[in-house]
């Protein structure tokens, strides 16, 4: 086992050694164990994707899916992404994990295509470190091509902090992805520090209103104001707007009244396996996104 650990860490390079050093000196052996488990898990099919459906709030039609990484640990059971994503990001393993997520999401789209289902928008989360990979654009292009996935039916979800960190790199990379036809969303919007003028310089297609604002949107005037402002901002910038974490009818009604086009949340459906998604796809063909050019 120790040999495997050595081999694996050599393979992923210097970053990992530095990370090990730091973790060792901080004495967080728990996380080191989990990191090693993750490495093994990635190579032995312990990871899989769930897909959360997104809907047009007015028509109720299915408009897209968000792919979410899941880890079934052989001893610990389900480990939540809030646990393993930050660890992967910090250690550099996010490169391998991100590649796998991209591959698997494309494979799934290909399977559905082959079964004759209409193409549906597939959104994938991309973390900061993964986004700064110099080979990202090339990788994405190749992976989509290999699986016959149309870039226009593929979306990256990135964060505001990523845009703030190195705006020039972000503009360049996003422009390349956008030129391919991919869609680009800002996840958890409203929690970061985007300025209006900065937002305009990124070739985005969608804002995802953070769940925390939706949570209080039916009762708290402050949250209502923020949600309304984001919807107006999206309209002003020509972006589609989707609310995440919609759990109640009261929240949905508020969103509809405020002019929000799309929603995602437990009210409509939790993240689910591909088999469950097929039932949705079979029921009715997915609709096109309103509010943006494809």
Residues 97 and 88: beta-carbon distance below 8 Å: yes
Strand residues in 128-205 grouped as ranges (E): 154-159, 183-189
Q: What angle do CA 152, 281, 119 make, to 5 degrees?
A: 20
> Which residue among 5, 81, 99, 150 contacts ligand C2E (CB under 6 A)?
81
List the one residue out of 215, 229, 289 whose CA is nearest residue 258.
229
Beta carbon nearer to ligand C2E, 42 or 120: 42
Kindly tell me which of 32 and 79 has the beta carbon lying closer to Mg ion: 79
DSSP strand pairing (77-79 vs 121-125): unpaired
Cβ contacts of 263 within 8 Å, gap of 6 or more: 54, 55, 57, 242, 243, 246, 252, 255
Give the DSSP H or E segment for 168.
helix 167-180
Minimum distance of ligand C2E from residue 209's CB (angstroms)? 11
Considering only residues 143-202, where is the footprint of ligand C2E by CB under 6 A? 157, 187-188
User: What is the spatial distance between Cα 262 and Cα 240, in angstroms, rounded to a whole number?
Assistant: 8
- # chain residues binding ligand C2E, by CB under 6 A: 22
* Residues 129, 126: Cα–Cα separation, whole Å: 8
Q: By CB under 5 A, which span of 17-25, 130-138, 238-246, 260-268 interacts with Mg ion?
A: 238-246
Query: What x/- string results for residues 85 through 124 when contact with ligand C2E is judged by CB under 6 A?
Result: x---------------x-----------------------
Partner from ligand C2E, Mg ion, none binding residue 247, C-beta < 5-8 Å depending on class = ligand C2E
| Contact residues: Mg ion, CB under 5 A | 125, 157, 187-188, 244
* Binding residues vs ligand C2E (CB under 6 A): 52, 68-69, 80-82, 85, 101, 125-127, 157, 187-188, 211, 244-247, 265-266, 271
């Amino acid at each position: 086992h120790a040999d495997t650990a050595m081999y694996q860490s050599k393979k992923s390079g210097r970053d990992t050694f530095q990370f090990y050093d730091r973790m060792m000196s901080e004495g967080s052996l728990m996380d080191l164990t989990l990191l090693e488990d993750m490495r093994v898990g990635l190579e032995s099919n312990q990871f899989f994707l769930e897909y959360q459906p997104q809907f047009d709030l007015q028509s109720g039609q299915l408009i897209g899916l968000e792919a979410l990484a899941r880890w079934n640990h052989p001893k610990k059971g389900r480990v939540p992404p809030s646990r393993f994503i930050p660890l992967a990001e910090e250690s550099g393993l996010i490169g391998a994990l991100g590649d796998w997520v991209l591959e698997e999401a494309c494979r799934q789209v290909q399977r559905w295509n082959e079964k004759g289902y209409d193409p549906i928008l597939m959104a994938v989360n991309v973390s900061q470190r993964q986004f700064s990979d110099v080979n990202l654009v090339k990788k994405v292009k190749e992976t989509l091509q290999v699986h016959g996935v149309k870039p226009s039916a593929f979306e990256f979800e990135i964060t505001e902090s990523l845009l703030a960190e190195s705006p020039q790199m972000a503009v360049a990379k996003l422009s390349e992805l956008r030129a391919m036809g991919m869609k680009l969303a800002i996840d958890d919007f409203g929690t970061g520090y985007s300025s209006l003028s900065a937002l305009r310089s990124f070739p985005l297609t969608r804002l995802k209103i953070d769940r925390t604002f939706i949570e209080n949107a039916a009762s708290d005037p402050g949250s209502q104001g923020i949600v309304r402002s984001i919807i107006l901002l999206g309209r002003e910038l020509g972006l589609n707007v989707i609310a995440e974490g919609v759990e109640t009818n009261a929240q949905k009604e508020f969103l509809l009244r405020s002019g929000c086009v799309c929603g995602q949340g437990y009210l409509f459906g939790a993240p689910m396996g591909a088999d469950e998604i097929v039932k949705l796809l079979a029921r009715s063909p997915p609709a096109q996104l309103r509010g943006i050019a494809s």
